[in-house]
């Protein structure tokens, strides 16, 4: 299931690369990535629709 802005195979490889770089299992890498994105979302004001700058 791939498209111009989404490719499940690419995302899977990115998770594997992140896990390898950080010495994590794939499952722990997903958790760490979700934690990072949650912090980024909170830092940007927790707004789903953000006005372009």
3 falls within a domain:
no
pLDDT in tens, 30-39: 999 899 999 9
49 falls within a domain:
no
15 falls within a domain:
yes
DSSP 22: H
- Total domains in the chain come to 1
52 falls within a domain:
no
Angle between helices 8-22 and 26-43 (to 10 degrees): 100
Taking the C-alpha atoms of 31, 22, 24 and 43 in order, what is their torsion angle to the nearest 10 degrees?
Answer: -10
32 falls within a domain:
yes
38 falls within a domain:
yes
| Prediction pTM value | 0.64
Query: Would you say residue 53 has pLDDT above 70?
Result: yes
Beta bridge partners of 2: 7
The domain of 17 spans: 8-43
28 falls within a domain:
yes
Q: How far apart are the C-alpha atoms of 14 and 36, rounded to whole Å?
A: 15
């Amino acid at each position: 299931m791939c498209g111009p802005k989404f490719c499940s195979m690419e995302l899977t490889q990115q998770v594997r690369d992140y896990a390898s770089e950080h010495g994590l299992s794939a499952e722990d890498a997903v958790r760490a990535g979700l934690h990072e994105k949650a912090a980024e979302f909170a830092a940007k004001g927790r707004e789903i629709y953000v006005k372009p700058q």
